[in-house]
Chain A
Amino acid sequence: MSVDPTIHLRRASEQQKPVDGRAFKRLIEASLTWLRTNQQIVNSLNVFPVPDGDTGTNMVLTMQAAFDEINGSNEHNFGKMAHDAAHGALMGARGNSGVILSQIWRGFARAVDNNPTLDVPMLIQALASARDTAYKGVVRPVEGTILTVIKDVAAAAAEMLAEAGAPEAVGLISLLERMVEAANSSVLHTPELLPVLKEAGVVDSGGKGLFFILEGMLRHIDGLPLDTALSTVMPLASMALENTLEAIEPGQDYEVVVDFRPYEELDLIHFYSNLEDMGTSIQLGEGDGMYRLHIHVPTEKLYRPIDYARTLGTVTKVAIENLIDQVEAQAETCGEEKISLSPIEAGQNAVIAVAPGLGIGRVFASLGVAGIVEGGQTMNPSTQEIIHAFENLPTDKIIILPNNKNIILTARAAADLTVKKVAVIPSRSVPQGLAAMMRLIPDGDFDSVVSEMTGALDDVETGEITIATRSVEIDGVQVQEGQIIALHNGKLMLSATSLEEACLGLLEKAHADHFELITLFYGANLPKTEAFRIADVIRLNYANQEIEVQEGCQPHYQFIISIE
């Protein structure tokens, strides 16, 4: 890779500086910033068209936690700084990608130990250690993911040393450059290893996140900007608009989406820099002869993106939403009441359940859980948040119900970080978690109860109704972004144009007529009257089954359905 001469000179000078604790802190900050800048790109790579725990957001939050841990520190020792950052990442890890990333840092820190500065042999060892720890942390490692990328990066680094013959012949920065290249190739190769990526036409999101983390460090060394995204445009179908509510930057009041047909080829760099003057959370999607621009703006700049688009082409559609109102509306429908939990007696088996919504939390509370962790808008709590829920309970027999496949790893990470005896029941959905709760015997033998609860997971079928966040074909089902989709036990079943159609279609596919009880948990975005109306329609079609409706208050999913 040919390097711009100014960068070459800069690198030569940077190379002289020792990489100590403070340098590490700056590198972590650079990684974090670059990853955050490209967060939406990573989010848009999620294959599955559901608004669940975006990889980009989870990895940013995990890196943020790592950085927060060392931000105030002036530690000179590289190893110590690395350990602290790894600890921060561990506690703040969210989602599967966040947890694996934290394991990468943990392995890295373990190898650099207490060393005051970083050198080439140490870095190569640390990469191998990072790889090993990451692989060990996953029960069934899958190739074509972030695991493969760290593996390839570690291999490329070792290869570079082998080629050079002696550590003195390799510069740290050249090594980093090789690592970034290796990460890039590895990411591009992931569709060859993971068929579902190929089918969806994307690379692995976690791997891409890791690439940005490494690239951020190199850009920092090269003095390149970290806060402007590369001027890219993505396919319309990949625009990840659903989750922009999670992190509304302060000062932004409206979400503006403008579709327009350009008069001529867009100058992307000019285009982006103009938009950056107006607002944040900028995305540009390209469709058939048209562009869709998405941006968050403050009230006083409300119409500027529209006026700007009009100078570039014919505006065909405009959508404006009041951001604060959207978020507040969601909070209103489900009330602010704190959930009261029944007290746990000393030494009893205590269950911690992750609840995606306040209503679901209340249902778990009524069944006797000792603690609830709210999933939040991202639907992914951190390791720390889970630990916090049980560390002060007067018992050390803890059972965790993650109730989401993206939270199982985080729960296991929490289990590893405490002296309490913790069992994680691998519940992949709320209905599974509730079925497991049925088997809780507070005074029973811990291991038998855990075994019983785990066995109960298969007692129930799970249905989920949501809106597709991308257009994709998966498992033979064709889905358009914005359509209503139904999942059965986590598998995409069908797409529909109405909620009713989606629910009835799902129930049919799940053979609900062979079961006895259908429970509908309706989400925060669905008015109660609408939920009850749909329940009535279902009752007409399933006269032999009992239909129960509960307020779930979960975001993103109009319905979570249990069939048993």
Chain B
Amino acid sequence: MNIAIVTDSTADLPPDLSEQYQIAVIPNLIMMGGDTLMDGVDISRQEFYERLPWIDPPPTTATASPGAYTDIYSRLLRQGAEYILSIHPPAALSGILNAASSAAQAFGDRVRVVDSRQVTLGLGFQVLAAARAIRQGANLEHVLRLLQEMHSRVRVVAMLDTLEYVRRSGRVSWARARLGNLLQIKPFIELNDGSVSSLGESRTRNKGSQRLKEFLYRLGKLEQLAILHTNAETEARQFLEELQLNLPSTPLIINVTTVIGNHVGPNGLGFAAVIA
């Protein structure tokens, strides 16, 4: 069966992997300083995080238009795809799913839009799993079931430098309710099956890093792991080095998409894991 896969830049797939599996990645948009830039294309992530705390008014993010999705769906179908799987983050967290769904309507049954319930590599790992299954000959129903089953096994946990960016994003109601931190704290958040929750806080970076490891070890045996950060590469490398885990392959270290970074702020450290 010829099934093509489409996702968006919030999946954080390294270009070599998306090329290898022929996954089409639609870039999202960042509006800052009066310019509209394409995520990962027009501005590097590093540059973005370096500028982030100083940009006023704060940058905003936007999804690619439904038109961009219509274009890619048409093209892929013209090129011979029987079906298209378009996998994206949850509607509660972004407008991407809506844009894709709008575009998909014109194509009826041939384009299936899937809510991955996850972001960054939580989404990326699902996309890769789908791609691998297709390579091995799985049919559409099989892949859809696989994705469904994966939801409860994927976790994204992050230690942030501050809750300020999350609060500003307005997408997490409990963050709004918190009354401004009097103490310096590093908040922990978790994305699990579509919802963002608080996992408490740490007072120091070191303790926070320890706690992040604890959260990871507690998941048990892992199929996939990626270390995520927002412009904190050295720390991410060190974190990985200190980890004592048996993994099938070396985990990726990813500087997270600006679209998410805008909502969590720089100096974040976390992981995306798929439990075996």
A438-B202, A439-B200, A441-B198 known; A366+B207 contact, CB < 8 A: no
Closest residue on chain A to residue B205 by CB atoms: A516
Flag B162-186 by CB within 8 Å of A: 1 or 0 each.
Answer: 0000000000001001111111110
Given A343-B177, A368-B178: A438 and B201 within 8 A (CB)?
Answer: yes
Which one of B180, B182, B185, B197 contacts A438 once the chains associate, using CB atoms below 8 Å?
B185
Closest to B186 in A: A438
Bitwise, A320-362 to B at CB < 8 A (1) or not (0) is: 0000000000000000000011110000000000000000001
- Among B185-206, those with CB < 8 Å from A are 185, 197-206
CB <8 Å contact, B204 and A366? no
- List chain B residues, Cβ under 8 A from A546: 184, 204
B207 cross-chain contacts in A, Cβ below 8 A? 459, 516, 564
B204 to chain A: which residues have CB within 8 Å?
516-517, 546, 564
Known: A516-B204, A516-B206, A517-B204. A550 touches B183 (CB 8 A): yes
Residues facing B in A34-84 (CB within 8 A) are none
Beta-carbon contact of B182 and A564 below 8 Å: no
CB of B179 within 8 A of CB of A342, answer yes
- Convert A523-561 into 0s and 1s, putting 1 for each residue whose CB lies closer than 8 angstroms to a CB of B: 000000000000000000000001010100000000000
Q: Give the residue of A342, A438, A550 whose beta carbon is less than 8 angstroms from that of B200.
A: A438
Residues of B within 8 A of A443 (CB): 197-198
Q: Report Cα–Cα, A434/B204, bound state, in Å.
A: 13
By the criterion CB–CB under 8 Å, are B178 and A366 in contact?
yes
Find the B residue at minimum CB distance from A342.
B177
Q: How far is the CA of A452 from the CA of B185 in the complex (A)?
A: 18
Residues of B within 8 A of A459 (CB): 207
Q: Which of A342, A366, A442 contacts B183 (CB 8 A)?
A: A366
**Structural contact, B200 and A564, CB atoms closer than 8 A:** no
Chain B residue with minimal CB distance to A550? B182
User: Which A residues are in CB contact (< 8 Å) with B180?
Assistant: 366
B113 to A: closest C-beta gap in Å = 29
Q: Are B201 and A367 touching (Cβ within 8 A)?
A: yes
Let me know if A363 and B199 touch, CB within 8 A.
Answer: no
Residue numbers in B under 8 Å from A438 (CB-CB): 185, 200-203
- Assess whether B197 is in contact with A365, with CB atoms less than 8 Å apart: no
User: A517: which of B197, B199, B201, B203 is its contact (CB, 8 Å)?
Assistant: B203
Inter-chain CA distance A435–B203, complex, in Å, is 8
Residue of A nearest to B199 (CB): A441
B174 CB → nearest A CB, Å: 7
Min CB distance B272 to A, Å, is 20
A341 to B198, CA, bound (A): 17
The answer to whether B183 touches A363 (Cβ under 8 A) is: yes
- Within 88-125 of A, Cβ neighbours of B (below 8 Å) are at none
CA distance A205 to B132 in the complex (A): 75
- Is A519 located at the chain interface by the 8 A CB criterion? yes
Question: Given that A441-B199, A443-B197 are known contacts, is A363 also in contact with B182, CB under 8 Å in the complex?
Answer: yes
- Asked if A366 meets B200 with Cβ closer than 8 Å, knowing A438-B185, A459-B207, the reply is no
A440 within 8 A of B: yes
User: Closest approach, in angstroms, between the C-beta of B215 and any C-beta of chain A?
Assistant: 11
Cα distance, A366 to B184, chains bound together (Å): 11
Question: Contact: B179 with A548, CB < 8 Å?
Answer: no
In the complex, which residues of chain A have a beta carbon less than 8 angstroms from the beta carbon of B181?
366-367
Least Cβ distance of B166 to chain A in Å? 14
Separation of A459 and B200 alpha carbons in the complex (Å): 14
**Are B184 and A548 in touch, CB under 8 angstroms?**
yes
Query: Which B residues are CB-close (under 8 A) to A452?
Result: 200
Residues of chain A contacted by B206 (CB below 8 angstroms): 516
Question: Which residues of the other chain, B, contact A441 by a CB distance below 8 angstroms?
Answer: 197-200
Evaluate contact between A434 and B183: CB separation under 8 angstroms.
Answer: yes
Q: Which residues of B are found within 8 Å of A519, using beta-carbon distances?
A: 183
Expressed in whole angstroms, the Cα–Cα distance for A341 and B180 within the complex equals 11
B183 A367 Cβ-Cβ under 8 A = yes
Q: Which of A494-508 contact B (CB under 8 A)?
A: none
Instruction: Kindly state the separation between the CA atoms of A519 and B185 in the bound complex, as whole angstroms.
Output: 12
Q: What distance in Å separates the Cβ of B193 from its nearest Cβ neighbour in chain A?
A: 13
Give the complex CA separation of A439 and B183 in angstroms.
15
- B-chain residues with CB within 8 Å of residue A365 when the two chains form the complex: 179
Q: Are B202's CB and A442's CB within 8 A?
A: no
B238 to chain A, nearest CB (A): 16
Q: Which residues of the partner chain A approach B203 to less than 8 Å between Cβ atoms? A: 434-435, 438, 517, 564
Determine the chain A residues whose CB is within 8 A of the CB of B201 once the complex forms.
Answer: 367, 437-438
Chain A residues closer than 8 Å to B202, beta-carbon distance: 438
CA distance A452 to B201 in the complex (A): 12
In the bound complex, CA of A516 to CA of B204 (Å): 7
Whole-angstrom distance between the alpha carbons of A367 and B206 in the complex? 20
Distance (Å) between the CB of B196 and the closest chain A CB? 11
With A and B bound together, what is the CA distance between A564 and B202 in angstroms?
Answer: 10
Chain A: CB-nearest residue to B184: A548
Which chain B residues border A343 with CB–CB below 8 Å?
Answer: 177
Instruction: Give bound CA distance, A368 to B181, whole Å.
Output: 10
CB-CB under 8 A from A434, the residues of chain B are 183, 203
In the bound assembly, the distance between CA atoms of A363 and B174 in angstroms comes to 17
Contacts of A564 in B (CB 8 A): 203-204, 207
**Chain B residue with the shortest CB-CB distance to A517:** B204
* Chain A residues within 8 Å of B182, by CB: 362-363, 366, 550
Query: Given contacts A459-B207, A548-B184, A564-B207, are A440 and B179 in contact (CB under 8 A)?
Result: no
Separation of A442 and B190 alpha carbons in the complex (Å): 13
Query: Chain A residues near B184 (CB, 8 Å)?
Result: 517, 546, 548
CA distance in complex: A441, B185 (Å): 15
| Distance (whole angstroms) from the CB of B156 to the closest CB of chain A | 16
How distant is the Cα of A275 from the Cα of B206 in the complex, in angstroms? 61
Chain A residue with the shortest CB-CB distance to B181: A366
CB contacts (< 8 Å) of A362 on chain B: these are 182
| A259-303 Cβ-contact flags toward B at 8 Å (1 or 0) | 000000000000000000000000000000000000000000000
State the Cβ distance, B39 to closest chain A Cβ, in Å.
Answer: 31
Produce 1/0 per residue, B106-130, CB < 8 A to A.
Answer: 0000000000000000000000000
Closest to A365 in B: B179
Distance (Å) between the CB of A482 and the closest chain B CB? 33
A364 CA / B177 CA spacing, docked (Å): 14
Q: How far is the CA of A342 from the CA of B203 in the complex (A)?
A: 21
- B179 contact set on A, CB distance < 8 A: 340-342, 365-366
In the complex, what's the smallest C-beta–C-beta distance from B25 to chain A, in angstroms? 33
CB distance from B200 to the nearest CB of A (A): 5
CA–CA, A273 and B182, complex, Å: 53
Residues of B within 8 A of A342 (CB): 177-179
Q: Which residue of B lies closest to A452 (CB)?
A: B200
Q: Chain A residues with Cβ under 8 A from B200's Cβ?
A: 438-441, 452
Report the bound CA distance from A362 to B174 in whole Å.
Answer: 18
Nearest chain A residue, comparing its CB with the CB of B174: A442
- Closest 10 pairs between A and B when the two form their complex, measured CB to CB: A342-B177, A366-B182, A516-B204, A438-B201, A363-B182, A439-B200, A517-B204, A366-B179, A366-B181, A438-B200
Chain A to chain B contacts (Cβ below 8 Å), 30 pairs: A340-B179, A341-B179, A343-B177, A363-B182, A363-B183, A365-B179, A366-B183, A367-B183, A367-B185, A368-B178, A435-B203, A437-B201, A438-B201, A438-B203, A439-B200, A441-B197, A442-B198, A443-B197, A459-B207, A516-B204, A516-B205, A516-B206, A517-B203, A517-B204, A519-B183, A548-B183, A548-B184, A550-B182, A564-B203, A564-B207
- Given A341-B179, A342-B177, 18 other A-B contacts at CB below 8 A? A340-B179, A363-B182, A363-B183, A366-B179, A366-B181, A434-B183, A434-B203, A435-B203, A438-B203, A441-B198, A442-B174, A452-B200, A516-B206, A517-B184, A517-B204, A548-B183, A550-B182, A564-B207
User: Could you tell me which B residues sit within 8 Å of A by CB distance?
Assistant: 174, 177-185, 197-207
